[in-house]
Amino acid sequence: MPTLDEELFPSTPGKFKIDHRSYGINRQFYRFFASTSTMFLWALFLIALTVSYLSFQSFVDSSTRYLSASWGGLQWEKQVRTSAEIHRAGGMSVLVTGASGFVGTHVSLALKRRGDGVVGLDNFNNYYDPSLKKARKALVNRHGVFVVEGDINDARLLDKLLDIVAFTHVMHLAAQAGVRYAMENPNSYVHSNIAGLVTLLEACKSANPQPAIVWASSSSVYGLNEKVPFSELDRTDQPASLYAATKKAGEEITHTYNHIYGLSITGLRFFTVYGPWGRPDMAYFSFTRNILQGKPITVYRGKNKVDLARDFTYIDDIVKGCLGSLDTSGKSTGSGGRKKGPAAYRIFNLGNTSPVTVPALVRILEEHLKTKAKKNILDMPGNGDVPFTHANISSARVELGYKPTTDLRTGLKKFVRWYLSYYGYDAEQP
């Protein structure tokens, strides 16, 4: 016996004939209501199918995100907690952002060596060769530091880390570095140095307990200042580059969070940091590479053909200042985003106090590499660089016990030794 569907939708259209004489008005009503009911049932079926598909797709998307995420899960949380464990009396647990960067790697190792708990965070961007960052990560991993791969703008990740571990301190070193690159990709500086900083501060001000924060500003904030040596009391409202402007903005932003939320904050103005595991975009690094490869280097001069000079500061001296800042930072005073009392807000210069000209730097490298450089001497372009830097470190000496001990010749010798080893050169035959 045929079903209702078979009657209404025959399998052979055109062969089904209606005998109008055998049907009256009741049959017409029956067909109308039957057709309407069937359409309604089909509509319900399609709606249910759509809902099921969307639910399944949502499940697949969620599963894909979970499986592809670089953080999360019980094993991941265990690694974070283990890395954050403190192994000395009176020690601290520190979240180090930019932990696979130049300074971040050295600070993480120094903290771990003395028994502090350390968890790293880095996004491994490609501003310079990520393989160097991966090598640094492997280095700190061997010393028990777990580095989470993630972005400083990921609020969920930051909240998760601060929830898993009650960090006593945050060492914020993640940033988009480089003065000249800001002319090519300005948005990356706003994304990392401003938006990323705010995301971190938001997470820290809501944490309970609030961690104390030490972060990397820059000597670039002194901009067009001509008074030397540069003091923390000098004007910093004339930046010469977008990079400098974002670091200056960071100082104003951190002051606001200190004032409103009671976060203990220390800003460090680094002066031209160099040394092993350094950044390939820095002059001393690229000079070394080009000299060894027999390629010319470009040496810029300032106005009136005056040599450029920098307050080159060896990485170990910078690390001393970073650890001294963490040790003396004092506690944040807020809770749940509410300030309960005044907290420390400090800014320090970390430099060597002995500026050296760029031509003198090249001569030292030539001696260590036993190779003469091919030099192109050009006038400094208007790309945001400044003609000289010179740090006044009297405040850091008094409050942090900061005392740089490595001169440029000694520091470059250590860097060259590392460079030849890392890139596989024969020290006697570069």
Cβ-based burial of 55 (10 A; exposed 0-12, middle 13-18, buried ≥19): exposed
Cβ-based burial of 86 (10 A; exposed 0-12, middle 13-18, buried ≥19): middle
- Whether the pTM exceeds 0.85: the reply is no
Domain residue spans of the chain: 71-277+314-351+389-405
For residue 137, what are its two tokens?
């990560």
Which top CATH class is 71-277+314-351+389-405?
alpha beta
Q: What tens-digit pLDDT sequence spans the chain (430 residues)?
A: 444 343 333 333 333 333 444 444 444 444 444 454 555 455 455 455 544 444 444 444 433 343 345 789 999 999 999 999 999 999 999 999 999 999 999 999 999 999 999 999 999 999 999 999 999 999 999 999 999 999 999 999 999 999 999 999 999 999 999 988 999 999 999 999 999 999 999 999 999 999 999 999 999 999 988 899 999 999 999 999 999 999 999 999 999 999 999 999 999 999 999 999 999 999 999 999 999 999 999 999 888 888 999 999 999 999 999 999 999 999 999 988 889 999 999 999 999 999 999 999 999 999 999 999 999 999 887 666 788 899 999 999 999 999 999 999 999 999 999 999 999 986 544 4
Instruction: Yes or no: say if 251 and 193 are a contact pair by the CB < 8 Å rule.
Output: no
Give the whole-angstrom CA distance, residue 169 versus residue 366: 42
Backbone angles phi, psi at 123, to 5 degrees: -100, -5
Give the whole-angstrom CA distance, residue 9 versus residue 3: 10
Give Cβ neighbours of residue 421 (< 8 Å, ≥ 6 apart).
Answer: 427
For helices 242-261 and 196-206, angle between their N-to-C axes, nearest 10 degrees? 10
Cβ-based burial of 371 (10 A; exposed 0-12, middle 13-18, buried ≥19): middle
Q: Quickly count: other Cβ atoms within 10 Å of residue 429's Cβ.
A: 7
Give ∠ CA 207-212-217 in degrees, rounded to 5.
Answer: 115
Cβ-based burial of 110 (10 A; exposed 0-12, middle 13-18, buried ≥19): middle
Q: How far apart are the first and last CA of the chain?
A: 95
Backbone angles phi, psi at 203, to 5 degrees: -65, -40
For residue 204, what are its two tokens?
């820290």
Dihedral of the alpha carbons of 386, 279, 242, 150, in degrees to the nearest 10: -160
- Chain centroid, CA 249 distance in Å: 17
Catalytic residue among 243, 284, 402, 419: 243
Q: Quickly count: other Cβ atoms within 10 Å of residue 127's Cβ.
A: 17
Catalytic annotation present for 30: no
Give the whole-angstrom CA distance, residue 122 versus residue 133: 9
The CA–CA distances, whole Å, from 99 to 73, 305, 320 equal 21, 39, 16
